[in-house]
Amino acid sequence: MSSKKKIDAVVVGAGFGGMIMLHLLSQRGLQVQGFERGSDVGGTWYWNRYPGCRCDVESMEYSYQFSKDLQQQWDWSERYSPQPEILAYAGHVADRFKLRALIEFDQSVSSAHYNDNTQTWLVETASGKSVECRYLIMATGCLSAANTPAFPGLETFAGEQIHTGAWPQAGVDFSGKTVGIIGTGSSAIQSIPLIAEQAASLTVFQRTPNYSVPAQNAPLDPAFAANIKANYADLNARNREQPAAFGANFPRHFDSILAASPAEQQARLEEYWQHGGFMFLAAFGDLGQNLEANAIAAEFVRNKIRQIVDDPDTAELLCPQTVLGCKRLCADTGYYATYNRDNVSLVDVANEPIQAITPQGVQVGKQVYAVDTLVFATGFDAMTGSLLGCDIGGRHGLTLQEKWAAGPRTYLGLMSAGFPNFFMMTGPGSPSVLANMITGVEHHAQYIAQLIDWVGAAGYQAVEASQTAEDAWVERVNMRADATLYPKCNSWYLGANVPGKPRVFMPYVGFPDYVEQLEGIAERNYEGFAVS
Ligand code: N01
């Protein structure tokens, strides 16, 4: 494909978002091309192969809904699916719906520029391929641009360095190794217990402790799975009414923790701790809105840490003092107990930060911690990283980098004014990372496909967000975030983990409200979209 071809649509990324988008557009008879920088489908599940990687949404709620046969015929083995199983599912979907033929793998899209005259996009890859298309859909993921802090001396490290978000396909053998891991977010919390089991020693460099509740993972009960399969549509419908589009199978309480007696508070929190996972935050109705309410549940978790971790100083260092759930809550299997192992140590790098990476290891203050292998569990340039990593030029040459210099601005998290026929899947301003991602991408793919249908049926060439609608939407995203405790900490939701990134709360709070907004807009003839 060295000569330029002209097609209907390009979809960038072949994770769950890209795959459903390719499927829906090709079903409509559109000529569509997918580009994927990896060598296979799977997106986040292709790249994140670190030990212990698994989904924190339950398996029976984390799958596509568009095909009843697919849902009925696929079997999950655990309550929370491990990465290899989700990757196998992605591969199965690609084969079943013949998607691989639509995708060019090992192709990183480096630039995309809109031509005002032809009303088409010219998309180019790093290896020099180019294609001209009418619609460009970025399904590049919210957590796909791995973030490695620019520690001085990084390149001098003599051992092996690995980022959890770009794990070697062949795996990593930690046997007999002295290992260091930087970061204590979800990726670290999942991998630390397993690395510790294998390595000779593991040193964890922690800047900010995170709250983690037990996942209570277990083999999936076949009777439970069969019951859901018999009523899948019902579960899906009830999940779409949940704030994050999952969790309908376990009660969500709306009463205030402040109205409960201390004994009632502890009993309910204990019940939700034993149930495991994200639903801990649904034990009472005001944990995400009220600081006083939040503090009670936060202290409950700290007391659990103090009970689990033998050494009181280590336990205290692991106790977060931030707002519970403000950073994304983690779900673990044996994380805190891992610190009771003789071969695991915790180094606080909050007060005395990591100064440098030396050839031997990690330098904190004057001390160098020598390691053979250094794992960066340092997260991602979330939500905007993969979009701004590509040179995207809209109408009159305006680039996305210029337009978003003070933070991302979108209409519905789907389009940005000045960029006609350019769609983002789970872009900033949509529920994305605050909702079940697979439900989110499926909803977006259907909405984008229907919008493209509408544009075509009306005989238009181009559609884009109007500036007024976009400005109002940005206000709405902020207003909804401000009604919660989310803005009260330095999270990646706000871009706070990447030095110099504008501090803007990016996801939209509340999946049901979001869906209602989008449905209303479609009914009102795609209000807020301008066509030409
Ligand atoms: O990344 P993170 P992650 N010096 O950004 C630390 C999803 N996910 O890959 O908090 C020292 O949460 C940083 O410290 P601090 C999920 O949405 C899902 O773990 O900034 N430390 C932090 O501890 C999750 O939220 C699943 O002070 C530095 C860590 O690195 C998201 O991905 C599994 C540092 C980064 O934590 C990201 O999780 C895994 C520095 N200079 C991930 N810079 C599941 O489905 C950064 N850190 C279960």
Model confidence pLDDT, tens digit, residues 319-333: 999 999 999 999 999
210 Cα to the center of ligand 1, angstroms: 9
The pLDDT, as a whole number, for residue 154 is: 97
467 Cα to the center of ligand 1, angstroms: 34
208 Cα to the center of ligand 1, angstroms: 10
Query: Does residue 378 register a pLDDT over 60?
Result: yes
Pairing of strands 120-125, 109-115: antiparallel
Q: How confident is the model at residue 5 (pLDDT cuts 50, 70, 90)?
A: confident
The pLDDT, as a whole number, for residue 218 is: 97
Strands (E), 333-416: 344-348, 354-357, 361-364, 367-370, 373-376, 391-393
> What is the helix (H) or strand (E) element at residue 5, kind and residue range?
strand 5-12
Q: Is 250 in contact with 282 (CB distance < 8 Å)?
A: yes
What is the residue whose two structure tokens read 């690995």?
Answer: 162
- Atom 41 of ligand 1 has which residue's CA nearest to it? 149
Give me 99's structure tokens.
């998607």
Helix (H, G, I), strand (E, B) or coil at 77: coil
Closest CA to 160 of 184, 177, 185: 177
Closest CA to 411 of 495, 472, 463: 472
Choose which residue among 50, 61, 182, 187 to substitute to test ligand 1 binding: the one with the highest number of ligand atoms within 8 A of its C-beta. Answer: 187
Give me 450's structure tokens.
């229907």
Average pLDDT over residues 368-373: 98
Q: How far apart are CA 81 and CA 59, in angstroms?
A: 6
Q: List the 361-364 sheet strands across, edge first.
A: 354-357, 361-364, 367-370
Q: How far apart are CA 181 and CA 162, in angstroms?
A: 9
Q: What is the dihedral of CA 236, 241, 242, 243, to 10 degrees?
A: 130
Choose which residue among 327, 378, 438 to substitute to test ligand 1 binding: the one with the highest number of ligand atoms within 8 A of its C-beta. Answer: 378
Q: How confident is the model at residue 1 (pLDDT cuts 50, 70, 90)?
A: very low
Q: How far apart are CA 413 and CA 391, in angstroms?
A: 19
Task: Look up the pTM and report it.
Answer: 0.97
494 Cα to the center of ligand 1, angstroms: 13
366 Cα to the center of ligand 1, angstroms: 26
Q: What are 28-68's pLDDT values in tens digits?
A: 999 999 999 999 999 999 999 999 999 999 999 999 999 99
Mean pLDDT, the chain, whole residue set: 97
Q: How far apart are CA 106 and CA 43, in angstroms?
A: 12
Choose which residue among 148, 190, 497 to substitute to test ligand 1 binding: the one with the highest number of ligand atoms within 8 A of its C-beta. Answer: 497
377 Cα to the center of ligand 1, angstroms: 6
The amino acid present at 343, given as its one-letter code, is N
- Atom 36 of ligand 1 has which residue's CA nearest to it? 185
64 Cα to the center of ligand 1, angstroms: 26
492 Cα to the center of ligand 1, angstroms: 8
- Atom 46 of ligand 1 has which residue's CA nearest to it? 378
Q: How confident is the model at residue 4 (pLDDT cuts 50, 70, 90)?
A: low
Q: What are 112-158's pLDDT values in tens digits?
A: 999 999 999 999 999 999 999 999 999 999 999 999 999 999 999 99
Closest CA to 353 of 343, 339, 367: 367
164 Cα to the center of ligand 1, angstroms: 10
The pLDDT, as a whole number, for residue 2 is: 44
Q: What are 458-516's pLDDT values in tens digits?
A: 999 999 999 999 999 999 999 999 999 999 999 999 999 999 999 999 999 999 999 99
Q: Which residues line ligand 1 (CB under 6 A)?
A: 55-56, 143, 149, 164, 182-188, 190, 207-208, 328, 331, 349, 354, 377-380, 433, 492, 497
Query: Which residues have a Cβ under 8 Å from the Cβ of 137 and sit 6 or more positions away?
Result: 9, 10, 11, 12, 18, 21, 423, 424, 425, 448
Q: Is 370 in contact with 396 (CB distance < 8 Å)?
A: no
Q: Which domains does the chain have, with CATH numbers?
A: 5-145+381-531 (3.50.50.60), 154-224+243-376 (no CATH)
- Given the CA of residue 376, which atom of ligand 1 is nearest to it? 30
Choose which residue among 61, 182, 186, 322 to substitute to test ligand 1 binding: the one with the highest number of ligand atoms within 8 A of its C-beta. Answer: 186
- Atom 5 of ligand 1 has which residue's CA nearest to it? 379
Q: What are 266-317's pLDDT values in tens digits?
A: 999 999 999 999 999 999 999 999 999 999 999 999 999 999 999 999 999 9
Helix (H, G, I), strand (E, B) or coil at 187: helix
Q: What are 243-272's pLDDT values in tens digits?
A: 999 999 999 999 999 999 999 999 999 999
